[in-house]
Amino acid sequence: MLEKILDGNIQIIDSVIDWKESIKIAGKPLLEKNIIMENYINAMIESIEKLGFYVILRDNLAMPHARPEEGAIGTGVSLLKLNNPVYYGDSKIQLVFVLATKDANSHLETLMQLMELFQDDESIEKLINSKDYNEILEVIKKY
């Protein structure tokens, strides 16, 4: 259940300076819960700097992540919802999902639920337009 995985890991803010800041803020709940270490956040940023914006999964949505050995202690997901988009390259992003996984397999069920959500245009639109935590929870309850 995504609702359980994201519980306490959802943030809504107006805007960020750049995509790097969006990743730092989006990763903060996982850092505070000791699911990731600080170097995981740095690894996500370095990976994008090296490989480009491969983390963009659809319009308005990015899912930064890094390899488990780069600082993932546990498995978890956080969501940063931006009221004003930030640019990842040429793409406007308002939903930043950070995925952390401690190994190669423990995240597969979560990933399947996320992909189901990411393919649902109506749910993505509702997330982008949501104004508070409860509205976001309503959308992700289905997954």
**Positions marked catalytic:** 65
Residue 108, CA distances (Å) to 23, 43, 101, 103, 121 in order: 22, 21, 9, 10, 22
How many other CB atoms are found less than 10 A from the CB of residue 139? 20
- At 113 the three-state DSSP class reads helix
* End-to-end CA separation in angstroms for the chain: 6
